[in-house]
Amino acid sequence: MLFDQTILRIPGPTPIPPSVERAMNAPMVGHRSSETSDLIRAIQPKLQPIFGTNQDVVILAGSGTAALEAAVVNAVRPLDEVLVIVTGAFGARFVDICMAYGIRVHQLQVAWGKAIDPKEVIGFLEHHKEISAVFATYCETSTGVLNPVEELAKAIRSVSDGLFIVDGVSCVGGVPAKMDEWGIDLLVTGSQKALMLPAGLAFVAMSNRALKRIQANPNRGFYFDLIKYRTNLENNTTPFTPALSLLFGLEQALNLIEQEGLENVYRRHSLLMDMTRSAFHALQIPLLTSDEDASPTVTAVRPVDFDAEEFRKVLKQEFRMSIAGGQGHLKGDIFRIGHMGYCSPADVLQTIGLVEIALVKVGKPIELGKGVAAAQRIYLERGMK
Ligand SMILES: *Cc1c(COP(=O)(O)O)cnc(C)c1O
């Protein structure tokens, strides 16, 4: 066994490209130096297309939850009434953050493993004109569902003046996000998922509507005050010391995305999803989500005749490969395979090959190679440039 080798196939943190690792090792610079300003200036135009916005994207030092909390503190006030669409563990996190700030929360609960139907949201908002913001999760990482945020944005806008706030932590950079065109007001993400970096950067992009609402909010907190960050960005600087090494890495990660081409990045993620799903279909192991609701960044599998936790243990012990378990009430019932960021069709074939060995080891009768062959066929049909 190679003790220095690990295979990380969880839905974040994700593997780091070697060139990004090298970039992060660059010598430290002053946070008020021209080098830092140049870096911030270079990053913005590469970041904006990933959010689909012409607005400057605020970068905070913090994990993805910092971006979620910043969105809540700035865009909503205590005693405001909001709607949170809960399709899994991360929708529930928005509820918890809002509660922590004394915000009055309504919830639309969707069965875990399914996407929200925008019609349900319209139905709710028609009877709740007081709602000042609607929260949704783009990719619900706990179930592998991709919620239809474009349709949701249109639906919300047709009946409500509320802001539309989207958690895109586990998919922005891996799936299309056109916040300006679709009408998303706040779109947030973190660095350690599709953006191929370690945890530590939190991103918040805001529409003009959101900016106005935030400016009018007198209590935006201190560290998370997004107006401070936006004002500083106009001068290519930040209110507090940025996580500089991560920014070095971010610039290189964005270069890689630019080099591949954003559309090709999205196509690759969709191919990785289809290869992964076809393998489990071929092995006749049920998936948690339907093909229509599935996210290109993570796949949740729901075994019926073998133990998910024992299966994960075999992969870890035999190959030092990590896949994720279930969260909340799905703990022990599902496992999740991440295929976002620095992940290629070759990686998926490796994953499926190892999955098949682990299946045999936990006593699941399968025909070796069946999953791999299905994924190979998808690759050959769809290919990649
Ligand atoms: C990973 C993730 C987060 C943020 O988690 P952190 O541990 O704070 O980085 C938030 N939302 C979703 C959908 C996620 O997948």
Parent domain of 70: 18-258
Residues 167, 293 share a domain:
no
Q: Which of 258, 273, 301 is the last residue of a domain?
A: 258
β-strand 324-325 against 335-338: which pairing, if any? antiparallel
Residues 301, 249 share a domain:
no
Instruction: Note the pLDDT tens digit of each residue in 88-103.
Output: 999 999 999 999 999 9
Using alpha carbons, select from 200, 180, 201, 207 the residue that is nearest to residue 75: 207
Q: Which of 258, 276, 311 is the last residue of a domain?
A: 258
Residue 162 domain-assigned (yes or no) = yes
Using alpha carbons, select from 111, 143, 108, 139 the residue that is nearest to residue 122: 108
pLDDT in the model for residue 385: 55
Question: Running DSSP on this structure, what letter comes out for residue 283?
Answer: T
Residues 317, 184 share a domain:
no
Using alpha carbons, select from 171, 212, 228 the residue that is nearest to residue 12: 171
Residues 362, 300 share a domain:
yes
pLDDT in the model for residue 373: 98
pLDDT in the model for residue 360: 98
What the block records as the tokens of 68 is 């979620």
Q: Which of 227, 243, 258 is the last residue of a domain?
A: 258
Give yes or no for residue 69 CB within 6 A of ligand 1: no
Q: Which residues of 229-254 are buried (b: 16+ CB within 10 A; e: fewer)?
A: bbebbeebbbbeebbbbbbbbbbbbb
Pocket test for ligand 1, best of 112, 147, 170, 204 (most atoms within 8 A of CB): 170
Give yes or no for residue 203 CB within 6 A of ligand 1: no
Residues 209, 67 share a domain:
yes
What stretches in the chain show pLDDT beneath 70? 384-385
pLDDT in the model for residue 375: 98
CATH code of 119's domain: 3.40.640.10
pLDDT in the model for residue 200: 98
Give yes or no for residue 298 CB within 6 A of ligand 1: no
Residues 108, 52 share a domain:
yes
Q: Is the peptide bond before 13 cis (omega within 30 degrees of 0)?
A: yes
Pocket test for ligand 1, best of 169, 186, 191, 195 (most atoms within 8 A of CB): 169
Residues 23, 137 share a domain:
yes
Residues 311, 326 share a domain:
yes
Give yes or no for residue 198 CB within 6 A of ligand 1: no
Residue 176 domain-assigned (yes or no) = yes
β-strand 298-301 against 335-338: which pairing, if any? antiparallel
Residue 2 domain-assigned (yes or no) = no
CA of 260 to the centre of ligand 1 (A): 25
CATH code of 295's domain: 3.90.1150.10
Strands of 73-215 (E only): list them: 81-86, 104-109, 131-137, 139-140, 145-146, 163-167, 186-190, 201-206
Residues 164, 94 share a domain:
yes
pLDDT in the model for residue 1: 82
Which residue's alpha carbon is nearest to atom 4 within ligand 1? Answer: 64
Instruction: Note the pLDDT tens digit of each residue in 153-170.
Output: 999 999 999 999 999 999
Residues 253, 150 share a domain:
yes
Pocket test for ligand 1, best of 90, 140, 193, 195 (most atoms within 8 A of CB): 90
Give yes or no for residue 167 CB within 6 A of ligand 1: yes
Total of domains in the chain: 2
Is 149 within 8 Å of 166 (Cβ atoms)?
yes
Residue 1 domain-assigned (yes or no) = no
Instruction: Note the pLDDT tens digit of each residue in 279-327.
Output: 999 999 999 999 999 999 999 999 999 999 999 999 999 999 999 999 9
CA of 170 to the centre of ligand 1 (A): 7
